[in-house]
Structure 1
């Protein structure tokens, strides 16, 4: 289960506009001024970051999109956030970005991804998106500059859906954000927490605040996400109901913070990725991280050999994630003595702490490519060392 569900079950896409609309006509398919999110700059694509595959992998074939019709695009308000809920920006939907399928995710103002976007880019304008894949497509269709999506949580682990989408789409990781989760107990103005009889939030948020909720003796009510819980509380105005969400959600929906930091585990950190159409130019002026995905042939010690290319160059591996190769999940190996054996085929996602500007990283990937059936660099980006 994707960890993001306990946060807000969605993603925020953001844009910082600075160019006149006429400069986007050749790229945006004639989009109207209703969507004033434009690309600020484009970075040179380094040949070292070119996407490579020794053998094509079915899962990583890019999707083909037709330009969206102007009448189908949602008008996005450019006036910030308001306590008048009806005036809040509406999430971009699958229809708005020509989405063909939904992953069930929702996004609303006040979600934790918004906090992550504002931490990375304090002056950006955030726009909610109603599903993960819609956020990817919005960047691809030039509706916004970048997307900020959660990828893992220190308690609930990885968001596998976003790992799969990284392979399906041709966006580049250009940054990361580590955000400390601060669950707040929210209530209507003038209500004390002792008056609450029930609390609504996403089930994972409720589970992570179990000790406080049990002490209050309240009923726990599940919701689609934490921001939606805050919005529902504000709309229904039920005095004896509370919600668990972020402090920003309290400000947006005009609610009081009855208690802060109510999560059972204080070490609750979410890592987000920043995605863009073009990669950034890697440097050596600060700590960098590189994310790759690869597959290997089955055989004794093959994975060990693949990982040793980093160890022998003193490159630290920050994360290893394996995902089944969906289009070819099982492989049959004949053995004359034992009959047929079936194996899972995997893709391996790795984050390693080195910049592609360093020869050791270039040499490591050069050697890995000799072993791997498929290799793709997802991005090289500065590490977020501040939580």
Structure 2
């Protein structure tokens, strides 16, 4: 066993009418992430942060209660920076929210589209609007948050995760999602064996992604987590539709522990099925 089934301090889920929380987000007031924070925790006080890692550090240090951060987008794909930070830091996913956003081009009054030379926005927004920006012939300049981006595909869903210092208690009274990260021995068929464990118990995997194990993260975590490789290697992030309170999940994870060289639970939390 790698240890994440041992007793942890836990917190109850908070209702919308609960205490006013300090919730970190990346960007400035008016950014999509502030909107997501207020939707996730309507009574919260949003706290802007200059970058994603500052959000993680603010929660870890106790300066804020939660962080609400984007993790993937239906057009731009995974936000790898936040996946890497999830691995590097010791926070827990306690919820998710999905939002439909439509980007628009913002310019000074009376400026014509044909006079534009460049567009400044967050790299994810630039990626989501790639087709429109190419058609307009605009130079893309990456900045820290979405001050504005070109009109594009009207169906652009961004998934946000809510992070806390302590995990919540998973239940079975509603749909839950669970997020994990694991590593495997190198060799043919190892990943197939791992994924088959979930198929065997009829658990639907909604995401599986391989990421390189960064040297800094490897050295830091190898001292704290039994089994994490200390050299170059790969790790696999996975999300699946099941609660850690279910016997089938315990079965699959227990068998995966025996197969994997390392395994870590990010969180088991209520799923947002808004855009299924």
TM over 0.5: yes
Contact 1:145 1:276 in 2 (8 A): yes
CA distance 1:209–1:315, shift in 2 (3 Å): closer
Contact 1:196 1:218 in 2 (8 A): no
1:158 lines up with 2:158 in the alignment:
no
For 1:122, what is the secondary structure of its paired residue? Answer: coil
CA deviations 1:109-134 (Å, max 9, x no partner) are 22221121112112211111112111
Q: What is the CA distance between 1:287 and its match in structure 2?
A: 0.9
Contact 1:49 1:377 in 2 (8 A): no
Whole-Å separation in 2 of the counterparts to 1:212 and 1:299: 42
Give the alignment partner of residue 251 of structure 2, picking from 359, 363, 382. 363
Aligned match of 1:269: 157
For 2:215, what is the secondary structure of its paired residue? Answer: coil
1:48 lines up with 2:48 in the alignment:
no
TM-score (norm 1): 0.56
Contact 1:48 1:362 in 2 (8 A): no
CA distance 1:299–1:195, shift in 2 (3 Å): closer
Contact 2:181 2:263 in 1 (8 A): yes
Contact 2:75 2:128 in 1 (8 A): no
What number of residue pairs does the alignment pair up? 244
1:114 lines up with 2:34 in the alignment:
yes
Contact 1:282 1:356 in 2 (8 A): yes
Q: What is the CA distance between 1:322 and its match in structure 2?
A: 0.9
Contact 1:179 1:269 in 2 (8 A): yes
Contact 2:96 2:271 in 1 (8 A): yes
Give the alignment partner of residue 278 of structure 1, picking from 143, 146, 166. 166
Name the larger-Rg structure: 1
For 1:308, what is the secondary structure of its paired residue? Answer: helix
Contact 2:178 2:241 in 1 (8 A): yes
1:299 lines up with 2:187 in the alignment:
yes
Q: What is the CA distance between 1:223 and its match in structure 2?
A: 5.1
For 1:185, what is the secondary structure of its paired residue? Answer: coil
1:180 lines up with 2:137 in the alignment:
no
Aligned match of 2:206: 318
CA distance 1:357–1:185, shift in 2 (3 Å): same
Whole-Å separation in 2 of the counterparts to 1:381 and 1:180: 21
Q: What is the CA distance between 1:213 and its match in structure 2?
A: 6.4
Whole-Å separation in 2 of the counterparts to 1:373 and 1:218: 48
For 2:192, what is the secondary structure of its paired residue? Answer: helix
For 2:55, what is the secondary structure of its paired residue? Answer: helix
CA distance 1:220–1:281, shift in 2 (3 Å): same
CA distance 1:192–1:145, shift in 2 (3 Å): same
Q: What is the CA distance between 1:207 and its match in structure 2?
A: 6.2
CA distance 1:187–1:172, shift in 2 (3 Å): same
Whole-Å separation in 2 of the counterparts to 1:126 and 1:140: 16
Contact 1:201 1:222 in 2 (8 A): yes
1:145 lines up with 2:102 in the alignment:
no
Aligned match of 1:26: none
Contact 1:201 1:226 in 2 (8 A): no
Whole-Å separation in 1 of the counterparts to 2:210 and 2:113: 47
Whole-Å separation in 2 of the counterparts to 1:226 and 1:150: 12
CA deviations 1:19-60 (Å, max 9, x no partner) are xxxxxxxxxxxxxxxxxxxxxxxxxxx973769xxxxxxxxx
Q: What is the CA distance between 1:177 and its match in structure 2?
A: 1.4
Q: Extract unaligned runs of 5+ from structure 1.
A: 1-45, 52-90, 93-105, 231-243, 246-260, 330-342
For 1:48, what is the secondary structure of its paired residue? Answer: coil
Whole-Å separation in 1 of the counterparts to 2:237 and 2:129: 31
CA distance 1:47–1:298, shift in 2 (3 Å): closer
Cα-Cα RMSD: 3.2
Contact 1:291 1:349 in 2 (8 A): yes
